[in-house]
Structure 1
Amino acid sequence: MSNMMIKEVIASIEQLAPRSYAEDFDNTGLLTGSSDMKVKGVLVTLDCLEQVVDEAIDTGCNLIVSFHPIIFSGLKSLVAKDYVSRAVVKAIKNDIAIYATHTALDNAKGGVSYRMGQAIGLSGMKTLIPKKKLIKKLVTYVPTAQLEQVQEALFQAGAGKLGNYAECSFVSQGQGTFKGNEQSNPALGERNKRSTEIESQLSLTFLPHLENQILQALHSSHPYEEVAFEITELENKYQDIGMGAIGNLTDPLETQAFLDLIKRSFDTGSVRYSHNFQSNKGQRKIIKTVAVLGGSGAFAINDAKAAGADAYVTADLKYHDFFQGERLLLCDVGHYESEQFTKNLLYEYLSEKFSNFAVLCAKARTNPVNYF
């Protein structure tokens, strides 16, 4: 048996999909069990239904990593009377932890929508709807003589790294004043005397899931007994994190050929699509740029248009949504079908990270929709 704890596996998952990336309405994280249990095995699934819990029991796995959270809204009782409570009660009885990633993985670069794009051969993919109010900024004040040691510690903790650039900061110099009382132990100056020191103002941006380790690095490297700092949330969008993806087909396709590609790539029983797709001149249009978004994606139709997509592939479109398909081919491949690659994504990631216990893909078919 592995000596690794479930919390260590969770920490690794949250490097791929930090919970700070999740939407406010979501319920990500550890839903049942204890993070202090030793890992016996991990079962990866799209949905954590009762038959998935049975499979975990049969294969000796005590951690289920699920994309969808089986507990989404509040449970008022734990009587095993529906598909949610049956799965939860069985997991608790058998000491099985359930962890859900959901929109944290939706928003991660290389996550759900990027896998959709890979399935149909898109190149040059970028995030369709970059997330706002994600980037934070740290401002602190350091004696100039110790600036380099503090700056380096913060860089090592992940501050100043966004996209393809690392070790980004801004430094300005000025004078700082302070006066310690009788209980103080100033690194510079004397108690009960106002000191004036040449200090550097150091500014760095960072992603929110790194905040604790960055503050630990700041306090451990800073020479002052009381460290002055400010953290603010920026309005900026972050291009690498957010919903959906958009990219280009290597070879442009006409509508029918594109629909054939979609149906084949997502192995779906049907593709619902908008009928009024045409170019501005009413001619048959060639599809080159494609936007994708896993799960319910009607909210992003206008974003796909604004990004210049010729087609938008998603799920759960309603009747009136399809009327928005002017000059944009809307394709609904089904909710399960749009997210089916997520299980493989998580399996591949965890298998590469951990080799001292079994990581398995659930065999249970959890798609509640059938086609006739």
Structure 2
Amino acid sequence: MLVKDLINHLEEIAPLNYAEDFDNVGLLVGDKNTTVTNVLVALDTLEEVVDEAIAKKCNFILSFHPIIFKGLKSLTGKNYVERTVLKAIKNNIAIYAIHTALDNDNNGVNAMMCNQLNLINQRILIPQKQTIKKLTTYVPVAEAETLRTALFNAGAGQIGNYKNCSFNVNGIGTYNATEKANPVIGVIGKNHSEAETQLNITYAKHVEKSVLKALFETHSYDEVAYEVTTIENTNQNIGMGMIAELKTTQTETEFLHYLKEKMDISLIRHSKLSDRPVKKVAVLGGSGSFAINAAKAAGADAFVTSDLKYHDFFQAENAILLADIGHYESEQYTKSGLVAILTKKIPNFAFILSNTNTNPVKYF
């Protein structure tokens, strides 16, 4: 398998179209045409992780966090980023970062947190906007079913929990083919009227290339009339954070003990206890202060995240329990989750879980 083939599999799991604008995801180091030997899956790519990849004969590192966030003006080894990149290049090791593409995926980081906590009734906390497109085109009535099927097969027609969705209106299309045209129906230089179907079909933005390819390959007209618009429907499967429920209601103290046990952590920074029962829980791996209000609006009794600042805790206002478990700690199960997903998707290939602890925060 080549690097580019592996990338195709990764983008099926977590399309890069849904990564946040600030992020730097995808192939950061390496040649797409290199043959992949083994894949090391890590939370971060540091020098120690590259050393581990070398020792385990892996020439591809799938990293959750990107090692390169800002543009590099030189590669002289003057800091940990440059040293890591240089070592990877010298040893022909590719580095791919998946980060917020996986954060925003329905089966990604936050689902992995929910699963670790045995939470049920999981759903996206903050759905990403403008992720659903609509294609409108016009096709001869006799060809409408063939085109619909081709577009469905390309991934169009899915919205929420429904598939093969479309809206069709029959009418009369008119045109006059000029001398340079190559009309399939009609005669050059003469006005022509054709019974056509106006076909409207939705699709997720990451499949747009495939959908348009199917449109042009299937449509019989040499000049295909179409338009693409972005619609405001909420995409239930893409977005930041998740909200779910405990199987049984707990007190706040019981929940904090439960959180320690399930996430295998020894320290939690939390807001003031208010003796409220905990049933509905919101989670967001990594830095999640921006989602406090969303968690409250969704009716969460507790919000599990990390990197909360002093003033963030005031936002609890006795309406929610805020629990900061640490950045690394909130995302620690991501790499094992990725290995499980990839092993199931590509069973005859070696995906190796990194044993390197890359947490830069230590506790005294």
Give the TM bin, normalised by the shorter chain: over 0.9
State whether structure 2 residue 50 is matched by structure 1 residue 58: no
**Any residues of structure 2 matched to 1:84-163 within 5 Å, and which?**
84-163=81-160
Give the count of matched residue pairs: 363
- What is the identity, as a one-letter code, of the residue corresponding to 2:33? D
Partner-residue secondary structure (3-state), 1:195: strand
Find out whether 1:363 has 2:352 as its counterpart. no
Residues 1:6 and 2:3 aligned together: yes
Q: CA deviation at 1:304?
A: 0.3
Once residues 254 and 72 of structure 1 are traced to their aligned partners in structure 2, the CA distance between those partners, rounded to angstroms, is: 41
Report the 3-state secondary structure (helix = DSSP H, G, I; strand = E; otherwise coil) of the residue aligned with 1:338: helix
Residue 329 of structure 1 corresponds to: 321
Q: Which structure 2 residue ranges, 5 or more long, are not aligned?
A: none
Report the Cα offset of residue 127 of structure 1.
Answer: 0.4
Q: Distance in 2 between matches of 1:5 and 1:218?
A: 29
CA–CA separation in structure 2 for the residues paired with 1:57 and 1:186: 59
Q: Which amino acid aligns with 1:179?
A: N
RMSD: 1.0
- Structure 1 CA distance, aligned partners of 2:308 and 2:345? 37
C-alpha separation in 1, matches of 2:142 and 2:252:
65
Residue in structure 2 matched with residue 281 of structure 1 by the alignment: none
2:231 & 2:89 partners in 1: Cα distance? 41
Q: Give the distance between the partners of 1:217 and 1:188, measured in 2 at CA.
A: 20
- Secondary structure of 1:126's partner? strand
Point out where structure 1 has 5 or more consecutive residues left out of the alignment: 279-283
| Residue equivalent to 2:70 | 73
Q: Distance in 2 between matches of 1:79 and 1:68?
A: 22
2:343 and 2:349 in contact (8 A); partners too: no
2:286 counterpart (295, 317, 333)? 295
- 1:342 is matched with which residue? 334
SS of match in other structure, 1:86 = helix
Q: Offset of 1:143 from its aligned partner?
A: 0.6
**Rounded Cα–Cα distance in structure 1 between residues aligned with 2:249 and 2:41:** 35
Paired residue type of 2:293: N
Deviation (angstroms), 1:15: 0.7
Shift of residue 355 of structure 1? 3.6
Q: What displacement does 1:250 show?
A: 0.7
How much does 1:33 deviate? Answer: 0.3
SS in 2 for 1:240: coil
So what's the TM-score if we normalise by structure 1? 0.96
SS at 2:236 equivalent: strand
CA contact (8 A) 2:129 2:232 kept: yes
Does the 8 Å CA contact 1:48/1:69 hold for their aligned counterparts?
A: yes
The structure 2 residue matched to 1:318, chosen from 289, 309, 323, is 309
1:336 corresponds to which letter in structure 2? Y
Tell me how far apart the structure 1 counterparts of residues 72 and 215 of structure 2 sit (CA, whole Å).
Answer: 41
Amino acid at match of 1:9: L
Contact 1:269 1:371 in 2 (8 A): no
DSSP 3-state at the match of 2:238? strand
- Counterpart amino acid of residue 104 in structure 1: A
Please give the secondary structure, in 2, of the residue aligned with 1:132. Answer: coil
TM-score, normalization by structure 2: 0.98
Q: Distance in 1 between matches of 2:119 and 2:350?
A: 32
Structure 2 residue aligned with 1:305: 296
